[in-house]
Amino acid sequence: MGRRSDGRDLTKEWQEKFDRAAYVTSADELNALDLSKVDHLLGLFEPSHMKFESDRQKDEAGEPSLAEMTSTAIDILSRDEDGFFLMVEGGRIDHAHHDGNAKRALKDGQAFAQAVQMALSKVDLDNTLILVTADHSHVFTIAGYPTRGNPILGLSVPPAKDGSPGTEPALAEDGKPYTTLGYWTGPGAVTGERPLVTSEEAQDLDYHQQAAIPTEWENHGGEDVALFAAGPWSHLVGGVIEQNVIYHIMDYAMGLSEDQSSD
C-alpha cells in the first residue's frame, strides 16, 4: 500500500481490472512467468528508483536487467497484430552523472546498450523502427591525451615521447596528476588545494570524478546529442535536426496522422 492514507491497494486493483494480468516484484518472479498466459504485466521492483547496474549485479535476488525487461516487453507486445510502441529508458545514467560518479554512469550506459542489442535481436527490422537517443548531454569531459590502453576511469597517463605507451601520469600546474574523466561542475570539486588521487582511488565505484566548480549536483550540458535509427523510415534520420522532428518521424513511420498519405 506504500504511503497511501486511504488504504487502497492499486496493484491489486490493477490486476483485477484485466484478464491474464501478472504483477511481479523481483527478477525471479519475472523469469518464472509463463508469458503465454500473460497479456498485461506490471513490474514494480523498488519503492523508488531502481538500482544502478553496478549495484544491481551485487544483488542476486532482486531486479531484472534493463535488457531482460526489454526482452519480456517485446515478447508480450509483439503478439499484437496491430503492432506496438515501446519506450525503454536507461534513466539512471543521468542520476550517476549528476552525482559526478562516472563509473556508475558508464556501467549503466553499457546496460542500456545491451537493452538496445536485445531489442535488435528480437524484432524484424523490415517492419520495426528503432530509435536511440538521449534527452540531453552532461558537462562530462575527457582530457590529458591518455595513452592507448590507459584505464578510462584512472589517472591520465600520456604516451611517452617516442610514442610508446606511457607509464607516468600527466601533472597539472599544481604538480599533481588528474583523472582522464572529469566534470565541469559537481560534488567532486574542492575548494582550496586539490587532494592527491591515485589511479586505484579514481577507479573505485563510489569515487566522485574531479570537477572544476563545486556544486551539490553536476549539471546538464548544452551540446547536440546523437540520434541513431534502424528499420523503416530510418533514412529520415540524418544531419542536424530539431528534437520535435523525432515525433514526426515516429508519427510518419506508424501512420498515425489522419491526413497522412497511405504510402
Q: Is position 89 annotated in a ligand binding site?
A: yes
Report residue 6 as a C-alpha cell: 486511504
Whole-prediction pTM value? 0.92
Percent of the chain with pLDDT over 70: 96
Sign of the Cα torsion 88, 74, 124, 260 reads negative
Distance CA(57)–CA(53), nearest Å, equals 6
Main-chain phi, psi angles of 27, to 5 degrees: -65, -40
Pairing label, strands 140-142, 181-186: antiparallel
CA atoms within 13 A on the CB side of 69: 22
Of the listed ranges 79-83, 126-130, 184-188, the one predicted with least confidence: 79-83
Question: Measured between alpha carbons, how far apart are the two ends of the chain, in Å?
Answer: 49
Please report, for residues 66, 148, 153, the alpha-carbon distance to residue 157 in angstroms, rounded to integers and kept in the order given.
34, 9, 11
Is 10-136+236-254 CATH 3.40.190.10? no
Please report, for residues 35, 38, 46, 77, 118, the alpha-carbon distance to residue 24 in angstroms, rounded to integers and kept in the order given.
12, 12, 11, 17, 21
Distance CA(234)–CA(48), nearest Å, equals 35
Taking only the tens place, the pLDDT of each residue in 44-101 is: 999 899 999 999 987 765 899 999 999 999 999 999 999 999 999 999 999 999 999 9
Name the E strands within the chain: 21-24, 40-43, 130-133, 140-142, 181-186, 211-214, 227-230
All structural domains of the chain with their residue ranges:
10-136+236-254
Q: Is position 136 annotated in a ligand binding site?
A: yes
pLDDT above 70 for 132: yes
Distance CA(246)–CA(251), nearest Å, equals 9
Q: Is position 95 annotated in a ligand binding site?
A: no
Q: Is position 98 annotated in a ligand binding site?
A: yes
Q: Is position 40 annotated in a ligand binding site?
A: no
Taking only the tens place, the pLDDT of each residue in 220-256 is: 999 999 999 999 999 999 999 999 999 999 999 999 8
